[in-house]
Structure 1
Amino acid sequence: MAALMQAGASPRGEDFIEEIGRLKTQFDVFRFMKGLTEVYRCRAFMIVNLPPITSFDLQSNSVINNWPAELLSIYDQEGLLQTSPVLQRMRRTTLPFVYDVAATPNREESKSQFVVALFERFRMTRFVYLPTHDVSGLRGAVSLASDREPFTPEEIKDLYYIAIHVFDRLAEIRSMDVRVVDALTDREIDCLNWTAAGKTSAEIAEILSLSEHTVNHYLNRATKKLDTVNRTQAVAKALRVGLIK
């Protein structure tokens, strides 16, 4: 992707597939999507699971995104998800579509004016939505937000192809993370927790009434199971997947 950006070449969907296959973590996906957003001259992206009818906020359904935190907060505080014309359309179709905040009638007039002003403030007025799903059938979408000129049919076709691969790869990564969590023992998790708290092996040994050798053994096993190269990386990954807090 970096080469494409430096060369100023027109992106094509197939240009990104090999790179997507090499992504190993959710943060890798985040960086990839951030780069893709820049390549297509957009301002933000979001990968989201299709919210259930009972859901009232966008943030809990977003998998990863780089929307401005203030925008997300206001969006949910105002309860805009329940009346979202985008969400209504996503429930009716699996085809990609473009949504123009100002040009598309939505909601009651007062709320519509508020939404237009809100998204204009963050220069996110034109969206492309790319519905997709994972192997389990979980539906979702990849979206790009911009204030650029309309997306061309060729761009939408390429982005749709990319979105299918990104959503599938992200599902694989999340599945691997779940398996890792299941594989670690309670003692390994305890040692990771205390390491995250800044304790040395000797201090952890005293806290858990273990030998320092045993603590090191648990930490080494946890590091291997998490597919990381050292304790620091193991703790970082354990935090990311919610294994420790």
Structure 2
Amino acid sequence: MIRRPWAVGPMGLGQVEAFIRLVAAIANADDLADAMAAIAADLGFQYFAIIHHVDLTAAGATAIRLHNYPPRWAEHYEKNGLGVSDPVHRASHRTSIGFRWSRIPALIKLTPRDRQMLERGRVEGIGDGFTVPANVPGEAFGSCSFANEEGQPVADAMLPLAQLAGDYAFEAARHVWRVREGSGAARLTDRQRDCVLWAARGKTDWEISRILDVSEETVIRHIKLARERYGVEKRTSLAIRALFDGTLSFADILKH
């Protein structure tokens, strides 16, 4: 269990600054999880989640996912690939500052499926919460959330501190995941990147060959080599990995 250097006196800015100094030096997920559980409790929350907004199963080990949510809820969440459709995540794409979950209907239009998901979360122990968006240019969207079970109040006075802690916690997670991945990250050639980019835009190999003025066999070879460098089999997974390491950005994919 990691030591809590900030746990002296009432929770305040000084304690959060001590937390920030601590997580800046953390290099493994277990220590970061311990620090997050401790700061969440001191802020008045039972749970935390630092997560990329992707299908966690498809993204594999490259996706940041660190939390202490109830196991049944976490299993249901990952099994059903809710990282992309989660209304909390979608709401975080509409703002640059932290928000209480009660504000979600003001940020996005909730669908019946969204309401079912939020209700399922309440049943499994996740009721109200506060989410800090972490939308890094060139990477998949992410966030740091703090949450309580239904009926456990969220202290408004703690939310500015939660905002600050959440910002630095996500950055600490990015550092930890880079360390875990090591320095052997895939590097694509310019032509491989071009092919992966157009594949991510939904183009077939033949269409890419016409766009880049090369043979279809050349496109197939470039994409095959790119898949091998990332250690993935599907084109979708290839695009996800390229997004995670900054080879592609969402702006690249959406810019036709």
- The alignment status of 1:22 with 2:11, answered yes or no, reads no
Counterparts of 2:120 and 2:59, CA distance in 1: 17
The answer on whether the counterparts of 1:98 and 1:127 sit within 8 Å (CA) in structure 2 is yes
Aligned to 1:160: 163
Q: TM-score, normalised by structure 1?
A: 0.58
Counterparts of 1:59 and 1:151, CA distance in 2: 34
The answer on whether the counterparts of 2:131 and 2:144 sit within 8 Å (CA) in structure 1 is yes
Letter in 2 for 1:24: A
Structure with larger RCO (C-alpha < 8 A, sep 6+): 2
Letter in 2 for 1:140: G
The answer on whether the counterparts of 2:40 and 2:48 sit within 8 Å (CA) in structure 1 is yes
5+ long unaligned stretches in structure 1: 183-245
Q: Deviations over 1:107-154 (max 9, x none)?
A: 31x872x445433334321111101245865531100111432342x5
Counterparts of 2:59 and 2:146, CA distance in 1: 16
Aligned to 2:71: 69
Counterparts of 1:11 and 1:150, CA distance in 2: 16
Aligned to 1:211: none
What secondary structure is seen at the aligned counterpart in 2 of 1:167? helix
- The alignment status of 1:46 with 2:49, answered yes or no, reads yes
The answer on whether the counterparts of 1:84 and 1:106 sit within 8 Å (CA) in structure 2 is no
Aligned to 2:132: 130
C-alpha change, 1:76 and 1:26, in structure 2 (3 Å) is: closer
What secondary structure is seen at the aligned counterpart in 1 of 2:96? coil
C-alpha change, 1:111 and 1:173, in structure 2 (3 Å) is: closer
Letter in 1 for 2:11: S
Letter in 1 for 2:32: V
Aligned to 2:90: 88
- The alignment status of 1:170 with 2:170, answered yes or no, reads no
Letter in 2 for 1:36: I
Counterparts of 1:122 and 1:77, CA distance in 2: 15
Q: How many residues align?
A: 175
- The alignment status of 1:107 with 2:111, answered yes or no, reads yes
The answer on whether the counterparts of 1:47 and 1:63 sit within 8 Å (CA) in structure 2 is yes
State, as a whole percentage, how many aligned pairs show the same letter. Answer: 13
Letter in 2 for 1:10: M
Counterparts of 1:43 and 1:181, CA distance in 2: 37
Counterparts of 2:44 and 2:79, CA distance in 1: 29
Letter in 1 for 2:110: N
Counterparts of 2:53 and 2:85, CA distance in 1: 14
Q: Which runs of 4+ in 1 moved over 6 A?
A: 56-59, 101-105
What secondary structure is seen at the aligned counterpart in 2 of 1:100? helix
Aligned to 2:245: none
Counterparts of 1:46 and 1:144, CA distance in 2: 7
- The alignment status of 1:11 with 2:17, answered yes or no, reads no
Counterparts of 1:99 and 1:181, CA distance in 2: 39
The answer on whether the counterparts of 2:37 and 2:47 sit within 8 Å (CA) in structure 1 is yes
Counterparts of 1:69 and 1:59, CA distance in 2: 20
CA shift for structure 1 position 97: 0.9
What secondary structure is seen at the aligned counterpart in 2 of 1:41? coil
C-alpha change, 1:46 and 1:3, in structure 2 (3 Å) is: same
Q: Deviations over 1:35-72 (max 9, x none)?
A: 11211221211111132xxx487996552111112112
Q: TM-score, normalised by structure 2?
A: 0.55
